[in-house]
Structure 1
Amino acid sequence: MSVTDLPILSMLRTRMQWHQTRQKLLSENVANADMPGFKPRDLASPNFNSRTGELAQPSGAMDGNSGLAVTSPAHIALSTGPEGPGADPRRFKGFEIRPSGNGVNLEEEMMKAGDNQADYQLAATMYQKSLETLKIAIGKR
């Protein structure tokens, strides 16, 4: 077993890869802010098994309208909330959709990008500190 195969390092590596992929999707949302009919997308956060450190379910792209990651058709129930029957189709997560059908809100996307960058930096720092701790433990430092 390699040192980098430890569950905590594997989880941090997966988390950093997820943040890289999410940053790409957020930048695509910003790039398509003027495209008619474009709906912003985001990634579902990865869920890790606390005992093994492996992904509990694979993360994937979510449609900006639903915000749900579908794992089984039986899991989706009729919503009676603000996005259920009678919802205003021109609204998207609290912001107006433009007449062209574009649902990208630049302020929201830039806030997500900033938060994503900070979270990536946190995971990278934790990865680095974990490696330093392992080096100290085996006497290489």
Structure 2
Amino acid sequence: MQALKMRMHYSQSRQKVLAENVSNADSPGFRPTDLKPPSVDPGRAGVVLAQTSVGHMGLSGQRGGFDGTKAPRFEVTPNGNAVNLEDEMLKVAQNQSDYQLAASLYSKGLGLMKIAIGKGR
């Protein structure tokens, strides 16, 4: 439940940052910003990965495939603004989807707790 609360708080904060990026799309010299996602420490969460075969991947912190969020942006308008509205709106939509998922899981978790203590239904 704590991880879901942290994820919801991150999504709320990120929504504010992304909205500032969109609102400054025409401001000369403005550079868009974004929040770094919260890191989950597997050891602290009580989850440990076991490498039981040489073919298993280890915990190296690297993800496979292409991560477009780290791609450098080269589009800068003549007035120095680097906001790309299409990118920002995609981030806003993904952030909204992430928040709705976390809120739904949190709500289901609360419902399960109510059932467990006998106050459900």
- Match of 1:33, SS state, is coil
Whether 1:30 and 2:30 are equivalent positions in the alignment is no
Q: Would the aligned equivalents of 1:23 and 1:113 in 2 still touch at CA under 8 Å?
A: yes
- Match of 1:48, SS state, is coil
Moved over 4 A (4+): none
TM-score by length of 1: 0.63
Which residue among 90, 99, 106 is the counterpart of 1:127? 106
Partner of 1:136: 115
How far off is 1:30 after superposition? 0.4
- Match of 1:122, SS state, is helix
TM-score by length of 2: 0.73
Aligned-partner Cα distance in 1 for 2:38–2:81:
27
Aligned-partner Cα distance in 1 for 2:101–2:36:
19
Fraction of identical pairs, as percent = 53
Q: Which amino acid aligns with 1:49?
A: D
Partner of 1:39: 31
For structure 2, the 5+ residue unaligned runs are 46-70
Aligned-partner Cα distance in 2 for 1:34–1:137:
53
- Match of 2:34, SS state, is strand
Whether 1:103 and 2:95 are equivalent positions in the alignment is no
The equivalences for 1:54-93 within 5 A come to 93=72
For structure 1, the 5+ residue unaligned runs are 1-8, 54-91
Aligned-partner Cα distance in 1 for 2:17–2:73:
20
Higher relative contact order (CA 8 A, sep 6+): 2
Q: Would the aligned equivalents of 1:12 and 1:123 in 2 still touch at CA under 8 Å?
A: yes
The equivalences for 1:5-24 within 5 A come to 9-24=1-16
Question: Normalized per residue, which structure has more strand?
Answer: 1
What is the aligned length? 95
* Aligned-pair Cα RMSD in Å: 1.5
Aligned-partner Cα distance in 2 for 1:132–1:50:
26
- Match of 1:127, SS state, is helix
Change (3 A) 1:26 1:129: same
Aligned-partner Cα distance in 2 for 1:52–1:15:
16
Q: Would the aligned equivalents of 1:95 and 1:105 in 2 still touch at CA under 8 Å?
A: no
Q: Which amino acid aligns with 1:45?
A: P
